[in-house]
Amino acid sequence: MTVVNLGAWVGAAWAFRRRSRTTDSPAADLRRWQPWLSAVFVLVCGFRAVFPRADVQRICLHDSWLSSVAVGRSLATVAELCFIAQWAFLLRELGTRTRTRFAVAISWLLIPLICVAEVCSWYAVLTTRYAGNALEESIWALSATLAIAGAVAVWPRIDKRHRPQLGLAIVFGIAYVAFMCGVDVPMYVSRYLADEAHGRRYLSLGQGVRDVLLRWVVTDSWEAWRSEIPWMSLYFSVAVWLSIALMHAPRFGQAPEPDRARLSQLRLRRISYDRAPSTTAPAP
């Protein structure tokens, strides 16, 4: 899968370069970072697929320092910020081109929100407290919900020929939020509640730093990995394909407004008619 994804990125990047030569400058300014942001995400996902790990449990498949949580979580942080930046830039372009201020405002919120989510993730990793993961994934779900709201706000103003692609993105977004709220967040909440019920002792931040640098547990037990498989499978496949596809999102444009133009013409004609001198003789 990693090799296929890398090959898909190379092909998409080559096609993007060819298309960018004929792209207008405003779109080029907004899209020029897409291939590089996607490259980081694709490469890191490839690395994480080869060296999988579960952060809080400290489990991995290969006995190597490359499997340490310190390495994997650091790379994942950078990659996830690149991924959300792809969506933020695209939503900003969409809002700018259609003059939808709500969508533009949301595009500015996405990256700061995910920065907060990454802090929550690191808190969970260092302390082994799943509450941080639950909060992290909740923020991702909130960010996706806001992005969907921005796309919906753009819908009436976008060119009709681009609505199928925008509609597909909205459907994917809704499916993502449903998965996060129905599977991912409840998983971490249940883990946290189970730890609390068993009186688990959590690590301090200092202890956690040492632990993520020096400890990793090698295991191929299905029971150890079973609950991680669903999100990993989607993350290292669908998320990567979406990142690559974002390089070739349509050049969204504002919908024409023939009705408004006709209405303006009718109003001008009516004003002209009302102001025209009457040719009817006055009554005696």
Q: What is the pLDDT of residues 241-260, one digit of tens each?
A: 999 999 888 776 565 554 44
With b for 16 or more beta-carbon neighbours within 10 A and e for fewer, the 91-118 pattern comes to bbbbbbbbebeebbebbebbeebbeebb
pLDDT of residue 22: 55
Token pair of 80, please?
Answer: 């996830």
Q: What is the DSSP string of 40-100?
A: HHHHHHHHHHHS-EETTTTEESS-SGGGSHHHHHHHHHHHHHHHHHHHHHHHHHHHHHHT-
Residue whose tokens read 């883990």: 191
**CB–CB of 173/148 below 8 Å?**
yes
Give backbone dihedrals phi and psi of 198, rounded to 5 degrees, phi first.
Answer: -95, 5
Query: Shortest CA distance to 191 belongs to which of 73, 56, 92?
Result: 56
pLDDT surpasses 60 at 266: no
Residues of the chain above pLDDT 90, percent:
68
Q: How far apart are CA 205 and CA 214, in angstroms?
A: 14
Token pair of 77, please?
Answer: 């942080």
pLDDT of residue 259: 43
pLDDT of residue 256: 56
